[in-house]
Structure 1
């Protein structure tokens, strides 16, 4: 009887655990890769959800350190020395899971694993570094698993593939000369896009009567070998060779691979403990250079570049869930994410407290809501040397401990 109470009390919490901690992770993390719906015990399920995140990173003590009117946007130190760097964003998710017999489960899903959006604007002392930068991804995945009895539980082999699209742009102040002459804004813009394929593989072991599951899943890199677009300098006619032109450019980059271990188990009737450790290979993204494709020479470091200089990310999370009655369950979690910046950029460690609840009015419908409150720790940004070149010598700044909040909701229909 006790084991049956474990199963009955925590069934709705198994998938709730992943929604209890929407967080602001390092690198270009958005929703990441999440295949928890694959473990849904219903023969079929449809789930749709959205997370809204409001990071509040504020830059201060900003100093323009490249005051050249031709390459550094001029002396901007008369502009405000602070700026709100981050922009709010949403993370959608849609998934459909189907079971085939007693052994095979498959999931098709749409998600936004990666992205980034900073929008400090033009009225700050670091406008020569960034006015607005945004990167978006769209991910279409298919994942299946095969499970069979091993010992007291079941072993599950997991495999799948996904197609990923990326697009983005960056604007910064290149020169102040056109402003003085009244012939342009001095702002240059980069636009890029590409697509690629990735794959995943993993293992899971489950003992359903105790709501116990351990899973280890690897997601491959996605290679963007044909990252193409344009550099628009029509508002900056003073730049030699490229000024006043829209120049086609190309480059290459990779979305990172990752490895995640997830654990969960019933610890008492109606109670569930869960945790995870995730490694993300953000160090594959350093400086992404873009060179002209129309025969013009490529300057050292590219006509322009996206300078990230990330280190690998680590995310550790743990929490407790409880089912109050047949309709209501809740979970609380604490997440630590290691910052990916290395003295260049503003991505430092973060701590996030998450709280989620699930309401199940019938056996076929489940509504979930979750929220999170986190701290983005303090730091500073300056120069960074990579492959013998110095980056970050255009602007320096610092930042204090800032807040991040998030709200998430989803609806699942099971049949």
Structure 2
């Protein structure tokens, strides 16, 4: 048949989509979960990779909508009405795959979720955010068992992962000095936790056509013991005495949060000799992250919510579910070089509060195989972060975003990635 390809002619195409499209997704998505290395046809393979993303989100027409002196941060409308919100970031990946007969296992490290915004203190929204940084570490084991079904093989997938999260947020709580001009008025929140998750899935493959369809579900990760501190040592109390707790002190806090579950469908197939089409659809349950209430540890045993009277502070995200759709084409030019191009649409998780709107990204990449055992990949992407605005959003009768409002235009995001894989 004209569409038939031998496995030797498409071996570098089968897994190329792994790094063909670095993107800037919504929510706290950095790299998400990726188990493509599990499908490598070699008995043993190891891969290391890094993606470097450069978002350029600029906030405009910023207005301090809570000019109260204490504890709302004071009137900041004399500060800059624009700010560069985002920071560049790198996402590493390390994986090792081993196979024996019909069983394959993948052991990998990744950083699936994270965020880093740093508009600074000299903008009119410093009472909402000066700097926020969140990072995760994910250690996973994923195995599969495959058996013949029809012209191809059916693969059953299962695994577990251990995930750590850490982060901080700083914002201007008050412009009033503690005493004699001392104290910055900046409050800082630090948090950390760890928890377990699991995944399950199914895949069907016909190697001679480079055809594969996979559906993988990743569970939520429940951070039931989220803990940390609220440091208000640089903040004066809104009423006398000057250092009435929690002001002028460090307070231990606790809370609960969840990293979202997700479901991803991936498809790929040879469409002509040395040509491959690939695509994916992913749903991520970002709506599990709304407002994360944080309360002093001495209130444990009582409800910790925005309306309980025990909440000291909160992380307000108010996300909606995310959808990511990718499609692309790959081509093998010769025995050493392969190329691919792809287009990704990601639905923004912000809907009136925050700056994570829809994004469109075009990715291109190349794979070089100097030998049968080594593969080097280089990819790049350029995209648009669409425009929007942020202000007051009411959820469950509680208003959020009452401290600052701003607009943003269509901004650029760029990314580069590289990886090396050794097969033996």
TM-score, scaled relative to structure 1:
0.97
Q: Kindly state the Cα deviation for residue 178 of structure 1 after the two structures are TM-superposed.
A: 1.1
Question: Within 1, Cα distance between the matches of 2:273 and 2:311?
Answer: 60
Matched length: 414
- Structure 2 SS opposite 1:66: coil
Is the aligned partner of 1:52 residue 2:55? no
Question: Within 1, Cα distance between the matches of 2:65 and 2:287?
Answer: 26
Question: Within 2, Cα distance between the matches of 1:378 and 1:72?
Answer: 28
Q: Kindly state the Cα deviation for residue 222 of structure 1 after the two structures are TM-superposed.
A: 0.2
Superposition map of 1:273-288 within 5 A = 273-288=277-292
Question: Within 1, Cα distance between the matches of 2:15 and 2:118?
Answer: 34
* Backbone CA RMSD of aligned residues: 1.5
Question: Within 1, Cα distance between the matches of 2:10 and 2:56?
Answer: 35
TM-score, scaled relative to structure 2:
0.95
Is the aligned partner of 1:219 residue 2:206? no
Question: Within 2, Cα distance between the matches of 1:34 and 1:191?
Answer: 29
Q: Kindly state the Cα deviation for residue 183 of structure 1 after the two structures are TM-superposed.
A: 2.0
Question: Within 1, Cα distance between the matches of 2:159 and 2:233?
Answer: 45
Which of 333, 351, 370 is the aligned partner of 2:379?
Answer: 370
Q: Kindly state the Cα deviation for residue 181 of structure 1 after the two structures are TM-superposed.
A: 4.3
Question: Within 1, Cα distance between the matches of 2:107 and 2:79?
Answer: 49
Q: Kindly state the Cα deviation for residue 61 of structure 1 after the two structures are TM-superposed.
A: 0.1
Find the counterpart in structure 2 of residue 411 from structure 1. 420
Q: Kindly state the Cα deviation for residue 2 of structure 1 after the two structures are TM-superposed.
A: 5.3
Change (3 A) 1:301 1:405: farther
- Structure 2 SS opposite 1:80: coil
* Per-residue CA distance 1:243-275 (angstroms, 9 max, x = gap): 100000000000000000000000000000000
Is the aligned partner of 1:265 residue 2:274? no
Is the aligned partner of 1:131 residue 2:130? yes
Q: Please identify, of 267-276 and 176-185, the stretch whose mean Cα deviation from structure 2 is larger.
A: 176-185
Superposition map of 1:236-255 within 5 A = 236-239=235-238, 240-255=244-259
Question: Within 1, Cα distance between the matches of 2:121 and 2:40?
Answer: 48
Ranges in structure 2 where 5+ consecutive residues have no aligned partner: 239-243
Superposition map of 1:194-209 within 5 A = 194-209=193-208
Change (3 A) 1:301 1:115: farther
Find the counterpart in structure 2 of residue 311 from structure 1. 320
Question: Within 2, Cα distance between the matches of 1:397 and 1:60?
Answer: 6
* Per-residue CA distance 1:22-60 (angstroms, 9 max, x = gap): 000000000100000000000000100100000000000
- Structure 1 SS opposite 2:341: strand
Find the counterpart in structure 1 of residue 31 from structure 2. 31
Question: Within 2, Cα distance between the matches of 1:300 and 1:2?
Answer: 70
Find the counterpart in structure 1 of residue 241 from structure 2. none
User: Does the aligned pair in 2 maintain the 1:49–1:94 contact within 8 Å?
Assistant: yes
Q: Kindly state the Cα deviation for residue 72 of structure 1 after the two structures are TM-superposed.
A: 1.4
- Structure 1 SS opposite 2:298: coil
Question: Within 2, Cα distance between the matches of 1:3 and 1:400?
Answer: 45
